[in-house]
Amino acid sequence: MRILVVEDDLEAQRYLVQGLKESGHVVDEASDGETGLSLALSRAYDVAIIDRMLPKMDGLKLVGEMREHGNQTPVLFLSALSEVDDRVKGLKAGGDDYLAKPYAFVELLARIDALLRRRAPAGIKTRLGVGDLELDLLTRAAKRSGTDIELQPREFRLLEYLMRHAGQVVTRTMLLESVWEYHFDPQTNVIDVHISRLRAKIDKGFQAPLLHTVRGAGYMIRAH
């Protein structure tokens, strides 16, 4: 999923962004409220994580502006201000949840999942399936024929992208731009290595292969 992080403490920002990326998320970051608002209104995000105290525009004002523009991205406030009144102000401003600093990263991830479950409208997919392969986008669990498959964060993102485009040819360029966020071909075998690892996990030992190489074009995941 794509997450916006607005945090002016650069050390805290690096810690948060690195942790989210290692968990398999795509992350955009901003260090002040005005930049954060510009990003929030120009791109689609699954969740925004916003610090209360920001330069140029504080977090309350930022979220208020988002809501006035009709932006309903779920917002998790982060703040050293942990009194009840502070939490109430954050929620009244349009925030969906409030986490006081310092926080445990595993709790932050759990709150993100909870926000997505709470805000996902009818019709929005939280599970993907191709044949007997299942992917839960909230718990980040993968199974084939009921057997758990352990995936690294990048493998999960790769499989999610392939499954969202099931039955379609996915090119190397599409994968580089969407899974690795590269907008050029770095002449590396990174895709081949990850495809090979993913194929070993989701196909090896099962009756029929799902992940196919389309010679000269790219890759495709399909049930038949």
Q: Mind listing the pLDDT tens digit for each residue in 138-177?
A: 788 999 999 999 998 889 989 998 998 898 888 888 888 7
- Residues 3-62: pLDDT tens digits? 999 999 999 899 999 888 887 788 999 999 999 999 999 988 889 999 988 999 998 899
pLDDT of residue 82: 64
pLDDT of residue 21: 85
CATH of 127-221, one of 1.10.10.10, 3.30.70.100, 3.30.990.10, 3.10.129.10: 1.10.10.10
Residue 93 scores a pLDDT above 80: no
DSSP H or E stretch at residue 62: helix 59-68
pLDDT of residue 102: 84
Do domains 2-119 and 127-221 share one topology? The answer is: no
2-119: CATH number? 3.40.50.2300
Residue 124 scores a pLDDT above 60: no
Rounded (10°) angle between helices 33-42 and 59-68 = 20
User: Among candidates 159, 118, 119, 121, which has minimal Cα distance to 137?
Assistant: 159
CA distance readout (Å), 3 to 26, 142, 220: 6, 22, 27
- Residues 192-209: pLDDT tens digits? 899 999 999 999 989 899
- Mean pLDDT confidence for 121-147: 83
